[in-house]
Chain A
Amino acid sequence: MGADQAWILVALPAAAFVVLALCGRWLPRQGDVLAVLAIGASLVLYFFVLHDFLHQRDGLVNSHEYWSIAMHHTWSNVGNFNLNFGTYVDPLSAVMVGVVTIAGTLITIFSIGYMKGEVRYWWFFAVLMGFIAAKLMLVLSDNLLLLYFAWEGVGVCSFLLIGFYWEKRSAAEAAKKAFITTRIGDVGLLIGIILLWKATGTFNIQDILTAATTGQIGHVYLFVSLMFIFLGAMGKSALFPFHVWLPDAMEGPTPVSALIHAATMVVAGVYLIARLLPAFEVVPASLLVVTIVGLVTAILTGFMALATTDIKKVLAYSTIGQLGFMYIALGCSHPDAAIMHLMTHAFFKSLLFLAAGSVIIGTHHNQDMKQLGGLWRKMPITAVTFLIGSLALAAVPPFSGFWSKDEIFHGTTAWNGGWVTFLLGFAAVLTALYTTRLFVRTFLGKPQDQAVYDNAHETGPVMVLPLIILALITCVAGFTVFNGVGRAMGFPGGFTEFVFLHEPERFVMNWSWAAASAVIAFGGVFLAGWIYWGNRITISTRLADWQPGVYNMLVNKFYFDDLYQAGIDRGLLGFSYVVSWFDRYVVNDTGVDGVADTTRYSGSILKYVQTGKVPAYALGIALGAVGLAIAGLVVRG
């Protein structure tokens, strides 16, 4: 099964989706086994594809050359405007497919336990498979149009999954909000794609990149189209102005949050920008924009995470923060750091979400820190796995988070002036802070709500197994950066030699940087531990009294949600009322009915000419005759 049959990876989950959607209800165990088989098969096939892909490299003369396998055929053409779709496998997409398939398999297994007893059990797996198929297509597609196809497919599946419990009004609203916000982003993406097509005449990514790098597209034009495409990425990755939908998306079941809102969907934007990075490099200003947005998002969500008490919302904000980190790495034109962080983040964040899920199942559906506390005695395995995940998130050494965040720090040195590095450090500290706060308030200290604490219990093996596997992966994932480890696994070298922008660079352990980032991580952890573990409640309440304004602002997520809601209600819907009023009363009543009434009214006036009296009629005739005669003479004269 060679790399150019990569489309089979997409076909398997897609077929599962069709089968489950049509007759999932009547399948044995409502089709969850079929789902796991489909995603498992894709995982196995992925390894074959990877194996074949790596061996193709042997034939290359020097290892520096960038190799890839592309396969496409024409789907339709209108004159010279032909759309051809196909797959494109290269190191970047290989890693992404790996992340999706591994995380997907584990999460599908986990959700068998989590979703037991749900009303539409089969529908959940159907849409899950649909989502995975769309995500794989997105990653493997070789042209922007097919990418946009998959992009929208991913959006729809996220809408269906967020709105899975659609009986709840909040879930329905959250799904609607998520889809519309990402849809606005997609509008930008579509405009960007068409602008690029207008300049290059093709949708194929590689052709566009070569056209951009060889300067065939004007700088300003390229900048505008890249900004539009970045708009799409911002929508999907819930970056700064569009971040409002991700916290609400937690309404969906936890495996959904794990898979979609941690591992795969939100990182689609990162993949897209990484894929188009050569074009971004042609216009340095765009890289600056990406970095700034990344920074603002990281810091802002860091603060928000500190204020919320719902464990899933904290993880959601942390996801947005980590995405900010990835965009900063991209901004510094280090896709290797960004993709590595993406990979490691996918594993430890899905671990955290799944652990949070098992906490929710274990404590019978409550997820508010104020009720939880001291759970580590009741749920030891979940507690340990949660600890490993949070340490990785806080970038504490040996765990995977540390290596990838270190790479990002290394990348930010590219910006002179160091202000990026400083802000990144600050964001890293914030990350460590809220991660430790989350762990401490959930698992350590006195149980806040005795009732919850008493009947808390460890979740079943189906859910615990994936947790353990993910925990192992989290520990190990960081070491892939080393050359030796990579070579042992069959890769040409360390992670940075596999995924690179211009040329592979061997990872060299820079002790000073490693020490600095370790200090930041431990500092944050101990600071949070001191605040929250010792006399924990008083400190956070003191913040509320000391600076009520700041605290309220944090709790209300800087009032962005209300800002957008007001903007829509007053702006858009107001404009819509005006337009429909205008249509009803001006265009319709005066324009159309007005004309009809005037004709009818004029008719009713003219009818009174007919008085019924003979002399009046005779007068009509006489006047007509005289008028005609005079007019005849006048015209002739």
Chain B
Amino acid sequence: MVPLENYLVLSAIMFSLGVYGVLTRRNAVLILMSVELMLNAVSLNFVAFASYLDPSKIIGAVFAVFVITVAAAEVGLALAIIIRLYRNRSTANVDEVATLKW
């Protein structure tokens, strides 16, 4: 059996990659993708915990399914907003979209 820690390390790496993506990317869509990467890391984490620790293995899996569905909804909503923005400002670059400040 692959020890639990490996999974946790893998999901941690994926999570920090996602965070790195959000911090450095300028394009809204790519930020969105990095957030999705983080969510996948989390669902991996759930599944790993479920299989190793929880005898009934149910809750972890259920949680992973929920995370995936919520992520999907989130992407749909975010893309709709990014398209709306693109129509108005013909840019998706987050740095140019900064009129609201101070």
Contacts and interface: CB of A to CB of B under 8 A. Distances in A.
- Do the two chains belong together in a single complex? yes
Interface of A: 607-608, 610-615, 618-619, 622
Contacts of B100: 612
A402 B102 CA distance: 97
A607 B100 CA distance: 12
A622 B23 contact: yes
A615 B28 CA distance: 10
Main secondary structure of the interface of A (DSSP, over half): helix
Contacts of B87: none
Main secondary structure of the interface of B (DSSP, over half): loop
Given A615-B24, A615-B94, 8 more contacts: A610-B102, A614-B28, A615-B26, A615-B95, A618-B22, A618-B23, A619-B23, A622-B23
B92 to A, nearest CB: 11
Interface of B: 19, 22-26, 28, 31, 94-95, 97-102
Contacts of A607: 102
Contacts of B28: 614
Contact of A614 (B19, B94, B99, B102): B94
Contacts, number: 33
Nearest to A626: B19
B22 A615 contact: yes
A615 B23 contact: yes
B32 to A, nearest CB: 11
B98 A613 contact: yes
B76 to A, nearest CB: 19
- Please list the 7 inter-chain residue pairs (A to B) with the smallest Cβ-Cβ separation, ordered nearest first: A612-B101, A612-B98, A614-B94, A618-B22, A607-B102, A613-B98, A613-B95
Contacts of A614: 28, 31, 94, 97
Nearest to A615: B23
Contact of B94 (A608, A613, A619, A622): A613
Contacts of B97: 614
Contacts of B94: 613-615
For A610, A615, A619, A622, which residue has the most chain B Cβ atoms within 10 angstroms?
A615
Contacts of B26: 615
B22 A608 contact: no
Nearest to A625: B19
A602 to B, nearest CB: 15
A629 to B, nearest CB: 12
For B99, B100, B102, which residue has the most chain A Cβ atoms within 10 angstroms?
B102
A624 to B, nearest CB: 12
Contacts of B19: 622
Contacts of A618: 22-23, 31
